[in-house]
Chains A and B, each alone.
Chain A
Amino acid sequence: MSGEVVMARGLTRVYQEEAVPVHALRGVDFSLSSSEFVSLSGPSGSGKSTLLNIVGGLDRQDEGIIELDGEELAPLSEGDLAALRLRKIGFVFQAYNLVPVLSALENVEFILQLQGVGSAERKERAGEALKSLGLSELQDRRPGEMSGGQQQRVAIARAIVTNPVLLLADEPSANLDSETTKELMELLRNLNETQGMTIITATHDPMVMGYAKRQVHLRDGTVERDEVVTD
């Protein structure tokens, strides 16, 4: 195995829902090795989210092949896909979407619980994940009692606590001010550099793009540019 986390060949995705079919992806080739930090960019409607969703096992391509961690996704059932997401992928969404009735610690623990991790190990790992993001103080607060940036950090803790092979973040900064965005991106870069976490973000935000080490630029459902950033 080459350490390829994502391997996509000729991905197409057509939305038939409207009267006119929408070609969200028109043959995307894309691969990603372990420990890469990629930023998907491109104008609105260019297919960033669609690609991210297919990579994350949330959506299915119409044509082409997608492999995650060496495993082809197309034959998997919905249940298998869910299990795969639970084990291998960490998600960070635009609106941080924590379970409002659970505390920060419980939110992070919950995902481990879904994985079937025992209670003692769960507590320890969740506590550690929060600590690594500087959230130990806040672990007993509920989402309603935290700022947006704090909530987004808890969401990241929730995403990484399972040691996923891939972390996906679609517009992670959309609801954050630039100061908070900066803190958040530092955090992601830190994760990438110290723990070798493989990360893909999709964004319009130049500041977010700036942190990635590779830029994949989409336009009209195709890869327009794919370049490694050298600072």
Chain B
Amino acid sequence: MSEIALGQKEQNFANRTKADSSSILLRLVQISWRNVWRNRRRTLLTAGGIIFAVWLLVFMRSFQGGVFAQMADISARAMPGHAQIQHPLYEEEPQVEHTVRESLAESRLLQTGRFDFVSSRVQGSAILSVGDKSTGGFVLGLEPKVEAQWSGLARNIKTGAYLAADGEAVIGEALARNLGAKLGDDLVILGTAKNGGIAAHAATIVGIFRSGSTELDRTLVQIPVGDFREAWSMEAEEAHMVVGVSTALLDSEEGIQIARNDPGEGVDLNHLAWQDLLPDVVQLTEMKDVSTNFMFYFICIIVVFSVVNAFMMLIYERTNEMGVLLALGMRPHQLLIQFQVEAFLISSLGLVLGFGLTAITVWPLMEYGMTLPQELLESYPPDMVAMFPERLHPTFNWEAMRTATVTILLGVQVAALIPSLRIFGMRPIEAIRAEN
């Protein structure tokens, strides 16, 4: 046989191989699929670890996400609202003269169409006295009719009632204790007015609240906004902040955009979303996410080792089979593809079952909500527990699902690759002879 003829033969052979490479791939997938099915028990046990990891991440994150979203909402409703508009300097220097024009700020919030309650506040520190006892405190002037409709604090009046008319005040429980105050007592408020003079006001205590926050309970007094403006010699339109509250729970991203959205009418105002107002809630959420992720990645490492181990067993068991196939002329990379497909099938199964399990466990909770066990409540700060709703509703966390999918898929492929690399050094004769 001449050199040329041989060359041509090789050529034909190469062409045919190329044309048919998709069919061989399909066959390899078929073999993988049947192997996965044949070793059902092992497949399920390997997938079991994956199911567990996926469930843990997605369920926990969904659960925590839901709880924290609700907690954030409740914290926002307790006092600060979902959004605020302030004088640009007020956040850094809360001085009485740093005010915004009520109508302008209110119209900006209303313009977004997302806030159902919009009202003004003025605030300042003062000396508070009842009889001959005095202490320092913080006076908040607000619109009682509006805030009564949403404020968590208005709902936490322990004795008496919430503000209804001018000349009234509600105060915190610890403050009442420090002042020895009871319902009906006269509260004298002395502060520094806008004009530098003395701001003086007397109000009747009509309610005592327990907000859950030690600081608010120790220092806060609420009075109607009109009374405050008068005492502090402020004008009718002046407010330190305008607060917006939505009846719907604001999606965090959307909320932050709406609140920070600045229509730019030439007046520079400070727009704050609840994320700005409640940095501790945001951070707590992040931290919980991080600790859940930490656990997830640890479990992923364990899963990866288990998969490496499972593939070592699998390759060990099939040494003879592989030796024969290699002897017959199959190439190592074709066997590698087969194992990679098997790995993919196992991780897909684990992911699908994992998401199924997560869906089954998360969905009912999303629908019907759940009550938190007392012990778990105690792990949250008391301030927040006081504001927890009776039923908590998780929200399905798609981002966690993406993370789980990507991590597991990549991890399992790599895990299966490590022991498979042995194929490249495998000598067919020895593999055929290997006893097992």
Contact = CB atoms under 8 A, between A and B. Distances in A.
B30 to A, nearest CB: 8
Contacts of A86: 328-330
B328 A102 contact: no
Nearest to A59: B429
A114 interface: yes
A191 interface: no
Contact of B330 (A82, A95, A97, A117): A82
Contacts of B235: none
Contacts of A99: 31, 321, 325
Number of contact residues on A: which range applies? 20 to 34
Interface string A78-99: 0100111111000101010101
Interface string A20-56: 0000000000000000000000000000010001001
B35 interface: yes
B257 interface: no
B426 to A, nearest CB: 11
A116 B19 contact: yes
A82 B326 contact: yes
Interface of B: 1, 6, 13, 16-21, 23-24, 27, 31, 34-35, 38, 320-321, 323-331, 334, 428-429, 432
Given A82-B329, A85-B328, A113 B321 contact: no
B24 to A, nearest CB: 5
A110 interface: yes
Instruction: Kindly list the 5 A-B residue pairs having the minimum CB-CB distance in the complex, ordered from nearest.
Output: A86-B329, A101-B34, A116-B16, A116-B17, A97-B324
Tell me whether chain B's interface is mostly helix, strand or loop, or mixed.
helix
Interface string A109-121: 0110111111100
Contact of A85 (B16, B19, B321, B329): B329
Contacts of A87: 13, 329
B328 A114 contact: yes
23 contacts: A58-B327, A71-B6, A82-B326, A84-B329, A85-B327, A85-B328, A91-B328, A93-B327, A95-B320, A97-B321, A97-B432, A99-B31, A100-B38, A101-B34, A110-B27, A111-B329, A114-B24, A114-B334, A116-B13, A116-B20, A116-B21, A116-B24, A117-B20
B133 to A, nearest CB: 87
A1 interface: yes
A24 to B, nearest CB: 12
B429 A53 contact: yes
Contacts of B24: 113-114, 116
A113 B27 contact: yes
